Structure 1
Amino acid sequence: MKRVLFRVDASSAIGSGHVMRCLTLAKKISTVAQCYFICERLPGSLEEFIEAQGFSVYLLPAGLSQIQQAERTIRLAGEKYDWVVIDHYQLDIAYESGIRAIANRVMVIDDLANREHDCDLLLDQGAVESTRLKYRSLTPEGCQLLLGVNYCLLREEFFAKENAYHNESDRLLVSLGGSDPHNYTDKVIKALLSIKWEQPVDIVLGGKSPWNQQLQAEYADKTFIHWHIQCDYMASLMRGAKLAIGAGGSSHLERCISALPAIVMTVAENQEQGSADLAGLNVCINLGKAELVNETCISAAITELWNNDKKLASMRRSAAAIVPENGVNKVVEAILGLSKSNEC
């Protein structure tokens, strides 16, 4: 059986998105490979959650340089791996070259196209075709590029028939990232209260969000709010919602496959272009940087959209056309295809 090592982190500052998409890939490929994770020990890290999914986790001490991380990875992880998969904005060619000693092949998952890589396979599920030339200058000759939504790493739940869209929903979904370190969720709740909101609201937070207890205590008397902490049924929540308020990034793809219109606030610089592009395609309303968006702006956007059935139906159709099929299968096929060529 093949062996695959994932180098990925989660924290209160980073969020959980990188780990979640690596878990999606690990679960899919685990039928033919033993998968392991190596993560830095950070506040809000998710090693226990990863282990609960059935994968072993090696822990790196915080504060190491890339070269030191590579050396420690080799010491901790030990044996040779068919693939080392790296999903980390702070790692580049220095780390990737350093772990070649235990990696037959290296795969990078990226969204930024802003640094040089030493890899055999690179995935950017949010990239447009014009990004291909940029990545070509950042990767070695012969590196296979998997670019665009055809290769998106969405969990199996998003393709389950039982998660079909509920057309008569009156529920609002709020999800601003697994950690939401700046507590933008509170800003949304205050915006809802300012317009005397009474419809059901599903609020999703990660298990390591620093605001979980505070928010639930502060709004305990608001019976229209339903809390979902580190839930494993996001697809069901999305398919059961009329409208979402959320962040950019991979959440866009989850909402698109769920045909869910959204009001979006970007919580990281790398979310800005994709959110603007999708707003131009009538998939979402893009309010811009979350730090600059006030409660009045949020409440106005909700008020404008909520009862506009024609606009919402149009946005649902636009969203549903974005993500064509289960891209994780194509990613696994590419990994296994390169593995076979390596054996020849």
Structure 2
Amino acid sequence: MEIGSIYEIDPKNVPAGGLGGAAGPFLKEVEKYNKKYCAYTQSGREAIAWALRSLEENEPAILKECLIPAYMCDTVFFPFEQEGWKLHFYHIGKNLEAAREELCKQIEHIRPGLLFIHPYYGMDTWKPMRSLLKQWRSQGLHIMEDVTQSYYLEDAGGEADYVIGSLRKWYPVPDGGFVASDIPLSSGELQGGGEFTGSRLELLTEKWKYLYGGMAEDEKRALKKTYLKKNAEMEEWLDRHSDINSISQISGAMLSREDEERCKRVRNENYKQLHQALLDMKSVRPVFESMEERAVPLYFPVYAKERKELQEYLQKRDVYAPVLWPVGKENKEHLCDEERYIFEHLLALPMDQRYGNDGMEQIRNAIFDYERKKGVSGIAAGSRYTIGIRADANEEIATGHIMRCITIAKQLIRRGESVCFFVADEFAAPMLKQAGVEYVCLQTKWKEPESEVQTLLSELKKAGCEKLLVDSYQVANGKYAMAYFEALKEICDIIYIDDMFEAVYPVRMVINYNAYHHLFPYEEAYGQDTKLLLGTAYVPLREEFSEEEGALRHKERHVLLSSGGGDVYSALLGILAEAVEREALSDVVFDTVVGRFHNKAEELKKLADSHEQIVLHRNVENMARLMGGCEAAVSAAGTVLFELCAMQVPTVFFVCADNQKYDSDFFEKEERMLFSGDIRTDRADCIKRICDGLERLLQDKELQSKMKKKLHGVTDGNGAARIAEEIIKL
């Protein structure tokens, strides 16, 4: 899949209408700027020119000098030059915020008629100085705010006399910009241009044919060369022409039917996914290291160590990340060191509404592969790790395995141990990076553990690991299990998390924290040479569950839905489809946890879009808080049931994996939880029983109260700490 570059337009979706001018309004989002007047122009730079003409008409005596950021696209300078303004540059730091003290001095010294500001990449980089904007405006300084990179920013525009932006950067339209103001706009008339729009519409439909037209490869290459050349010519045309044209009727019609809420949601989800995936990469680092929950950027900006090399590598992987921007002749002599760094290292990763999870994974995987080939991933030379952890997570393996190992790892690190994860592929990388733990990708097949032994042995020796915690059913199943452990134990003491007791393994420690451990003869089978950590005292719950326990705030008619990272049997979709049809559940809010590897995420989005009672949660940072805010829960069995115990959430649960089959005996006993069956054997009946159980649970407050008391006694939340202590003593 090609990601990035100019938008494509399906020729069949081009509406009727002319290339000449059209009147607005077209977009509800523009209304949030709360300005009396609005004009839609052919481009963003023409919106700037129209604002400048309007300002001069209203303030004929204004000093036509403007303070503008030195980090800026040179095309922004053109309308100022064409309208006869003199430019002065103020400085921007690597955090993309203005140098406050210096800017204050420039305003005092120059006394310009206009200050041009630009919140970068969807972040309010002017937030620390918005009170100053109000002060300067009250003193007669006019302010123009360019929201081309931050169109959806909630707090933009309030302090500005003019808000301008380019709409063709945000939507698949051949032309479009806007200017909004409380000051009357120019009494002149916008031209009804058509040359630019017609040519650009042609090239955007050509890109659609290139992507989806089913051409031969040589035809595609020729067409791509043509439309890219035409796009460059169109941008040069805009640079040369000083006429200010209205948006076309075609673009106006296309904008009017845009689903802006969907665009915002998709961009926000893409932003969060990229932020988590790239935060600890070696070759790049996000420009904004702290994540803004509501951010909806134009691009995801990163600083790249070797930008040109990385950009070219990404292109080979069909990811087209632009450089924003080349240095212009106007600002070249005015740059400080930090601005030179920005211009030389900033790369803009595409993350617009054309792409979903797969697109962001493609970007992450491409950068990961780049680092691996460059040798900047994996174990750094000289690094030593006393304890290794072998675990995986992907579309088929529940994320609970990697998460419980991360919990144990953090307790080990707290006690002074150095820990490194070893994973078969890159699927688990975002979770490990988010947790701040080291890892090595073995680049092996997780379903074929016998093929990884030599690679893992080599990496363990390189890392200097003395102990290895293994959490994988794959390595313990089948004819290769004993050989796998026998090979590893030659260089490491092996600790194995065993939920199933399918064999007696040559390991130094076995962990089974489930309540059903007593069903198996661990003591008789292993004897005194193997340390056994058995029972719910060793449930490795994350610290958040003990921290949040004292602040439970169950909200009535809120129900948590969880089914593991991949949800192989599409339980969530089935449960929600059934639940929204039930009158007794019509007022229930379903807080639905969509795992990182969920295979029906798009279908869940569609269902949620048509039912307000469904709220989807991705990449949940504090699961305990989300659980604690719900009156009840529906969940697949596994470690999550112990988490629900810690948060005292009455639960309906079901089984979807072999290692969960014993959970039903313990949790169903004495109605600690309501068991609804195995979704693998009879999906429809299991889903019906889940919804029946949920109706009963929500209606019976006495049952809820009894459940909470029983759940509270299951685990104290200190299991991971106990496991860490025993591993250290081993």
- Tell me the TM-score normalised to structure 2 length: 0.44
Whole-angstrom distance in 2 between the partners of 1:65 and 1:203: 33
Whole-angstrom distance in 2 between the partners of 1:186 and 1:81: 43
1:324 corresponds to which residue? 716
1:12 corresponds, among 384, 390, 395, to 395
2:135 corresponds to which residue? none
Whole-angstrom distance in 2 between the partners of 1:253 and 1:70: 33
Superposed, which structure 2 residues align to 1:180-219 within 5 Å? 180-196=567-583, 197-219=586-608
Q: Does 1:231 align with 2:231?
A: no
2:509 corresponds, among 92, 115, 121, to 121
1:48 corresponds to which residue? 430
Closer, same or farther: CA 74–308 of 1 in aligned 2, 3 Å:
same
1:283 corresponds to which residue? 672
Equivalent residue letter for 1:187: G
Whole-angstrom distance in 2 between the partners of 1:65 and 1:211: 26
1:63 Cα deviation after fit: 6.3
Equivalent residue letter for 1:39: V
Q: Does 1:273 align with 2:662?
A: yes
Whole-angstrom distance in 2 between the partners of 1:274 and 1:107: 23
1:304 corresponds to which residue? 696
Q: Does 1:59 align with 2:451?
A: no
Contact 2:545 2:717 in 1 (8 A): no
1:250 corresponds to which residue? 639
Equivalent residue letter for 1:230: N
Contact 1:111 1:127 in 2 (8 A): no
Equivalent residue letter for 1:326: N
Whole-angstrom distance in 2 between the partners of 1:58 and 1:167: 40
1:26 Cα deviation after fit: 0.8
Whole-angstrom distance in 1 between the partners of 2:549 and 2:707: 22
- Tell me the TM-score normalised to structure 1 length: 0.90
2:452 corresponds, among 50, 61, 69, to 69
Q: Secondary structure at the match of 1:243?
A: strand
Whole-angstrom distance in 2 between the partners of 1:142 and 1:131: 21
Superposed, which structure 2 residues align to 1:87-98 within 5 Å? 87-92=471-476, 93-98=482-487
Bigger drift between 21-30 and 166-175 goes to: 166-175
1:223 Cα deviation after fit: 1.4
Contact 2:562 2:636 in 1 (8 A): yes
1:34 corresponds to which residue? 418
Closer, same or farther: CA 63–246 of 1 in aligned 2, 3 Å:
closer
Q: Does 1:108 align with 2:496?
A: yes
CA displacement 1:27-53 (0-9 Å, x = unmatched): 1111312211111228xx212321332
CA displacement 1:289-330 (0-9 Å, x = unmatched): 013243432322222221210011111111111113411111
* Greater relative CO, 1 or 2 (CA 8 Å, sep 6+): 1
Q: Does 1:152 align with 2:535?
A: no
Q: Does 1:171 align with 2:558?
A: yes
1:157 Cα deviation after fit: 0.4
Q: Does 1:133 align with 2:521?
A: yes
CA displacement 1:152-171 (0-9 Å, x = unmatched): 10000000047622255331
Q: Secondary structure at the match of 2:671?
A: coil
CA displacement 1:128-167 (0-9 Å, x = unmatched): 4534624642x47411000010011000000004762225
CA displacement 1:183-229 (0-9 Å, x = unmatched): 11011101211213222210002112121222112331211211111
Q: Secondary structure at the match of 1:265?
A: strand
Whole-angstrom distance in 1 between the partners of 2:708 and 2:603: 34
Contact 1:179 1:209 in 2 (8 A): yes
1:82 Cα deviation after fit: 2.3
Show structure 1 runs of 5+ residues with no match: 339-344
Q: Secondary structure at the match of 1:5?
A: strand
Whole-angstrom distance in 1 between the partners of 2:568 and 2:548: 34
Larger C-alpha radius of gyration, 1 or 2? 2
1:335 corresponds to which residue? 727
Contact 1:107 1:122 in 2 (8 A): yes
Bigger drift between 273-282 and 310-319 goes to: 273-282
CA displacement 1:96-150 (0-9 Å, x = unmatched): 22112331x211111011123121111111044534624642x474110000100
Whole-angstrom distance in 1 between the partners of 2:672 and 2:549: 23
Whole-angstrom distance in 1 between the partners of 2:567 and 2:446: 23
Q: Secondary structure at the match of 2:609?
A: coil
Whole-angstrom distance in 1 between the partners of 2:463 and 2:543: 30
Whole-angstrom distance in 2 between the partners of 1:64 and 1:129: 26
Q: Secondary structure at the match of 1:287?
A: strand
Q: Secondary structure at the match of 2:466?
A: strand
Equivalent residue letter for 1:212: A
Whole-angstrom distance in 1 between the partners of 2:599 and 2:547: 32
Q: Secondary structure at the match of 1:46?
A: helix
1:80 corresponds, among 454, 460, 464, to 464
User: After TM superposition, which residue ranges in structure 1, 4 or more long, deviate above 3 angstroms?
Assistant: 63-68
2:407 corresponds to which residue? 24
Contact 2:445 2:451 in 1 (8 A): no
Closer, same or farther: CA 135–46 of 1 in aligned 2, 3 Å:
farther
Aligned residues: 334
CA displacement 1:218-246 (0-9 Å, x = unmatched): 33121121111121211111111111001
Show structure 2 runs of 5+ residues with no match: 1-383, 477-481
Closer, same or farther: CA 74–134 of 1 in aligned 2, 3 Å:
same
Contact 1:128 1:147 in 2 (8 A): no
State the identity %: 22
Whole-angstrom distance in 2 between the partners of 1:223 and 1:245: 19
1:276 Cα deviation after fit: 2.5
Bigger drift between 12-21 and 159-168 goes to: 159-168
